[in-house]
């Protein structure tokens, strides 16, 4: 069976269960920690796939990956996943839950890339402008990338606004080259 289908079905079931018990936001944060744990500790998948590890040990491992003290809903979900031997899909389930939660709650992912660090006020203003234009909330992160030489690059979901100096230089250079080819 397809990995995406399985993970989306389990994520949707968890979302509906957490929504029924009014814990969907808490489960969202816990699943975000799990997804991040998979990125930070690649051996987590190997440990969960280990047949010598007991189910209780795997549940403890997943609970620790989710921040330690997790909700009862998530513990029950872990038990179900392990009972059905679907632990190899856990990372995909976490990502599917995160995507579903963001889609249902109109949460966008934003990233501001600048050449130098920006203060909190500028970051908050950018967040406010994005939220006003998109009518949603934004999970925002900033990144410093000196190679852009100045200006900024703003990524919102799959859209990019590139107002960096490096890109402007490339554009001017390309225009100059095209203009000079016509003369010669």
What's the rounded Cα separation, in Å, for the pair 74 and 17?
10
Mean pLDDT, residues 151-170: 89
* pLDDT (tens digit per residue) in 41-79: 989 888 988 889 899 999 999 999 988 888 899 999 999
pLDDT at 182 (0 to 100): 63
Q: Which residues contact 146 (CB under 8 A, 6 or more apart)?
A: 115, 116
Task: State pTM to two decimals.
Answer: 0.80
Domains of the chain: 3-103 (1.10.520.20), 106-183 (3.40.30)
Cα 71 to the chain's mean position, in Å?
21
pLDDT at 131 (0 to 100): 87
Q: What percent of the chain has pLDDT over 90?
A: 41
Mean pLDDT, residues 141-152: 89
């Amino acid at each position: 069976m397809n990995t995406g289908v399985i993970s989306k079905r389990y994520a949707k079931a968890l979302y509906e269960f957490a929504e029924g018990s009014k814990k969907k936001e808490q489960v969202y944060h816990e699943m975000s920690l799990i997804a991040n744990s998979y990125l930070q500790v690649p051996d987590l998948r190997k440990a969960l796939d280990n047949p010598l590890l007991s189910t209780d040990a795997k549940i403890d491992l997943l609970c620790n990956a989710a921040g330690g003290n997790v909700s009862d809903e998530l513990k029950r979900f872990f038990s179900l996943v392990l009972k059905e031997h679907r632990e190899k899909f856990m990372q995909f389930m976490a990502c599917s839950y995160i995507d579903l939660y963001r889609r249902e709650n109109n949460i966008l992912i934003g990233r501001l890339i600048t050449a130098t660090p920006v203060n909190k006020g500028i970051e908050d203003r950018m967040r406010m402008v994005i939220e006003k234009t998109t009518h949603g909330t934004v999970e925002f992160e900033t990144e410093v990338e000196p190679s852009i030489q100045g200006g900024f690059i703003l990524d919102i979901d799959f859209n990019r606004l590139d107002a960096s100096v490096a890109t402007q230089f490339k554009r001017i250079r390309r225009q100059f080259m095209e203009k000079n080819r016509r003369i010669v």
